[in-house]
Amino acid sequence: MNASLQGYAAAVLETLDTSSLEAASTDLTKVDETMQANRDLRAAMSDTSVTGVARRDVLVQVLTGKVGEPAARLSGFAALVSPAQDVPAAITFLAQRARDQVRDGDYAEPALSVLGARERVGGYAAAVFEGLELADLERIENELFTVARAIESNSDLRRAMTDRDLPVERRQHVIDALVGNQASAGSLSLLRYVVAGGRARDVVGTIDWLVNQAATARGWRVAKVSTAQPLGTEQADRLRASLKAVTGNPVELQITEDAGLLGGIRVEVGDLFVDASARGRLDQLREHLEAEHRTFQKND
């Protein structure tokens, strides 16, 4: 099963009280049964020509008003991160995962490889990061970095945190004692899940990896926008909505005016770069003509 989905499910389900967890379990079972019985829905979710973002949006739209928010949120993430052909099985996994937690209370994550465990912790982080403001993400990034350095520099602390024979609950108590009330709730939950869902021998590496994940999440919430002309309020709102649809996150615009663009707009969000400026189109045309010229000379 998709490791990222395992972590995401853990993050969402652990926030629910008993009655909400039971309701989410019932809802997920209903989603699973519907997916198995509805050939059209199953075909749509298994269509390899459809992007994960589109699958998520369609499924959440279908489920909104029919099941509770936790079940819709979990199902949407399953559609987003799972290969198309695995989406029905991912929904089945979520339904069983919720039933197991209702029945047993505590849920022990299965062992994974180092990379698989990091991916699982990353799924948990994705749920924690959803909806956070930039300042919250920056705080989490700094707090995780500080804890990683504290564990790395203290041999007794490092020995306790990397001891696979020490029960998960004991190692989580060590984390609780280390951070006390000085860390945010998001950082504490992430650190505790590094213990529960990660690999003991990779605890510092996983926390450092989470630092990078937080930095990346911050980057995808800030759009650097260059325009030749000032953007009106309505234009800025449309741009925010479009970028949110692409990135899956609320986006803050950092707008600068650059008359050298001649017209249009240039947008950079994370590693996504879109140059729709007049200057950009002219540069692309020039590069194309130069390439054609070189090809002509070569063949002459």
Confidence at residue 285, expressed as pLDDT on a 0 to 100 scale? 46
pLDDT for 87 beyond 60: yes
Average pLDDT over every residue of 263-273: 74
Give the SS3 label for residue 1: coil
**292-300 LR contacts (CB < 8 Å, sep 24+):** none
Average pLDDT over every residue of 49-58: 90
**52-55 LR contacts (CB < 8 Å, sep 24+):** 52/79, 52/80, 52/81, 52/82, 53/80, 53/245, 53/246, 53/248, 55/79, 55/80, 55/84, 55/87
For 118-168, the pLDDT digits (tens) are: 999 999 999 999 878 888 998 999 999 999 999 999 999 999 999 999 999
pLDDT for 68 beyond 80: yes
Confidence at residue 273, expressed as pLDDT on a 0 to 100 scale? 74
Confidence at residue 286, expressed as pLDDT on a 0 to 100 scale? 52
Give me the CATH code for the 220-299 domain, please: 3.40.30
pLDDT for 290 beyond 70: no
Beta-strand pair 222-227/265-269: antiparallel
Confidence at residue 38, expressed as pLDDT on a 0 to 100 scale? 92
Beta-ladder partners of 224: 254, 268
Secondary structure element (H or E) that encloses residue 164, with its range = none
- The residue type of 1 is M
pLDDT interval class at 291 (50, 70, 90): low
Beta strands in 172-278 (DSSP E): 222-227, 252-257, 265-269, 272-275
Distance between CA 217 and CA 130 in Å, rounded?
A: 9
Q: What is the DSSP string of 18-34?
A: HHHHHHHHHHHHHHHHH
Domains of the chain by residue range: 3-104, 114-218, 220-299
Q: Could you tell me the pTM of the whole model?
A: 0.77
For 184-206, the pLDDT digits (tens) are: 999 999 999 999 999 999 999 99
The tokens 């003509």 sit on which residue? 289
